[in-house]
Structure 1
Amino acid sequence: MDKSRLEAFSDGVFAILITIMVLDFKVPGNSGWQGAATVVPTLSGYLLSFVYIGIYWNNHHHMMKLAPPVNGGVLWANLHLLFWLSLVPFTTRWMDESGFAAVPVFIYGSNLLLAAVAYTILQSALIRLQGSTGTLAGALGRNLKGMASPVIYVIGCAAALALPLLALAAYAVVAALWLVPDRRLERAISA
């Protein structure tokens, strides 16, 4: 089955998620610097979530360039990923509206962890279709970033219950790991 519809649908969902998050912004009541200061926490949460959606879009794009034609299992694995990503605007807003309280920060981290697990499932489904000697499997290699990220998320989630800001720092570390597009995939696409 051709993968172009999966890519087009996914791109549309990524674009909608980013748009939904920015629509949650409320204009401050004060037009001075005090008003601007009140949106800094909202903007910080939005920035982290925007970066995450962007990272997933970028890596999804690269992965699909190396993917074989897809089957029903890949379609469902992709929907599974999009489901968890579709909750990011909600968990971002909850964190913001709670003042970055422990439980919403924990739920946000759990959301990120489950999106990472879903991405890994999608990646595995594509590798299974292509075979362990295929281009995608070869480009990924040992995938250390992919193995380290869930561990950092779990540490962040545990920290969230006592120190929510430390948890946010852990989530930001994972984003920083993935901010630069995966060069292994870019090299394989170029070859």
Structure 2
Amino acid sequence: MNKGRIEAFTDAIVAIAATIMVLELKPPKVNTVAALLDEWPVFLAYLISFSLIYIVWYEHHNLFQRSGVISSSTYFLNGVWLFFLTLIPFVTAWIGESPNSVVAAVTYLLVMLLWTLAFQLMERQVTLDSDPHKRHYRLPRARFNFDLFLLGGLVIAFFVPFFAIVAVGLFSLILIVRMFQHREDSNG
């Protein structure tokens, strides 16, 4: 299967999802600083979700640069990953508008967790496609720590809904630090 096509399609979907998210940002109804500051949960949710999408898009690019062959399984898993990605604008708008809603918080974290799991399955499949001798390949332990972190955030969000935004924000921050550490390791 053609790697360029799946990358171009993925890039388009990522761009559309990011655009839809920014369109959810509405200017305040009153032109005051106080009205603008009242919108901080919406903007914070947008900032965190956009950051996470951008970081994972970068990881997706690196993953596909390392791959040689793209199997039907990888195409399918990329589609699952994109499906959860396209839900991010919806859950981001919801948690931004209702940061104290348990249902919005749990849904936000659940979508992020499923999106992350889909990426991990795709990463494993790309690795297997590239080297069939790695039949017993296991993802790095850090990936499972991220899953546990999001699961823990999911449990906490039942009691403190705003923690959903905090958990995804911390998750994004960890990925940013990891991305720069990896970049420095490969340069030095």
Q: TM above 0.5, one fold?
A: yes
What do residues 120-150 of structure 1 show as CA deviations (whole Å, max 9, x unaligned)?
110111111112667xx7xxx8623312110
Aligned to 2:79: 79
Stretches of 4+ aligned residues off by more than 3 angstroms: 182-188
Amino-acid identity (%) = 27
Please name the residue that 1:39 is paired with: 39
8 Å CA contact retained: 1:156, 1:168:
no
CA distance in 1, matches of 2:75, 2:126: 10
Distance 1:116 1:103 in 2: 20
Is contact 2:10-2:82 (8 Å) kept? yes
Using structure 1 for the length normalisation, give the TM-score: 0.88
2:117 paired residue number: 117
Please give the secondary structure, in 2, of the residue aligned with 1:87.
Answer: helix
TM-score by length of 2: 0.89
Asked if 1 retains the 8 angstrom alpha-carbon contact of 2:99 and 2:105, the reply is no
Gaps of 5+ in 1: none
Q: Post-superposition shift, 1:186?
A: 8.5
For structure 2, the residue ranges without an aligned partner over 5 or more in a row are none
- Aligned match of 1:91: 91
Deviations 1:54-81 (A, max 9, x none): 1111100111100112121111110010
In 2, Cα distance between equivalents of 1:114 and 1:23: 24
My pick for the range that moved more, 164-173 or 48-57, is 164-173
Q: Which amino acid aligns with 1:161?
A: F
Q: Classify 1:186/1:76 alpha carbon distance in 2 versus 1 (closer, same or farther; 3 Å).
A: farther
Aligned length: 184
Report the Cα distance in structure 2 between the residues aligned to 1:54 and 1:5, rounded to whole angstroms: 20
Write the distance in 2 (CA, Å) between the matches of 1:28 and 1:142: 45
Other-structure match for 2:50: 50
